[in-house]
Amino acid sequence: MSKVAFIGGGSFGTALAIQLGKKNNDVRIFDRDKSVCYDINKNHKNDKYLKDIEIPKNVIAFNSAEEALKDAQYVVLAIPSHVIRDVLRNIKDLIDEKAIVISIAKGIEAGSNKRLSEVISEEVKNPVVILSGPSHAEEVAIEIPTTLVSTSTDMRYAETVQELFMTPSLRIYTNDDIIGVEIGGAVKNIIALAAGVADGVGYGDNSKAALMTRGMKEISRVGVALGGKAETFYGLTGMGDLIVTCTSMHSRNRRAGILVGKGLKLDEALNEVGMIVEGVKACKAFNELNKKINVSMPITEGLYEVLFDNKKPDEVVTELMLREKKNEIH
């Protein structure tokens, strides 16, 4: 039995906590929302994020980070990418020095453009593992077969996390390309948001296929430029994650994009979705990063114009279609 503390009681963190609870681990969730803690502890549910899903009784929620983190062997950062640094600064003195810190967020830090593993390693001295892949919380929670990838700069810890999370419905692979895994997970959110915009405008399957395929090229292009391995982007944390987020209504990025495509302003779309849409911040961050690395990212640039410059989606699509002729492979 392992002691695992989740920082954040959102949908995906709760879904993973459910799976670890069913393996008879000592699972604790810290959340600032007292109503979430009450629901988990009294009703064994988290209806704010996962409607009508039963949570094992050995998953206990705390409104105190100190109580949740006491003696934890694993600390899962189940919080949005843009708050990871600030949250860690508040709780790092409560984390056991031997605990493995696991991030399930996808993105890069705005301003610094650092990967999340880099951000975490700057704030704590603990081993850091990234857990990523094509996974909707709603499906993980009810044990629909799902695969994830565990990666770290020290693969001993990635393998330990692999063993921790493996269940009959949750298969964990390892991959030593931490750069590729993190960049794939971050950029695919941009493409999924763009795919949603295309759906909202009313484009069809031809357009979706083109956008996903050229989006995959964009993901691998920027990922390799940043030091990732090309083959990683055609695996679970690249192609796999891209498929699931571009095609499912579970995807917040796709849902937000659909609303923008139908004519809502970005703020209106985000309010209607009601949860963090990582693709918005990723689009801004990678558009800024690309000024330094100068990689061709036409979909990201076009989406940026739609989200932040109020450009009409159909105008952007026309410009993308009429760009200079080129070979598909390059």
**Catalytic amino acids?**
188
Helix (H, G, I), strand (E, B) or coil at 73: coil
Q: DSSP class of residue 277?
A: -
CB atoms within 10 A of CB 225: 16
Angstrom distance (rounded) from CA 157 to CA 257: 36
Q: Say which residues have a Cβ less than 8 Å from residue 312's Cβ, sequence separation at least 6.
A: 306
Residue 103's closest CA among 48, 198, 181, 35? 181
Q: Say which residues have a Cβ less than 8 Å from residue 225's Cβ, sequence separation at least 6.
A: 293, 295
Q: Which residue has the tokens 């931490």?
A: 178
Q: Say which residues have a Cβ less than 8 Å from residue 315's Cβ, sequence separation at least 6.
A: none
Rg (CA), the chain: 19
Angstrom distance (rounded) from CA 291 to CA 176: 28
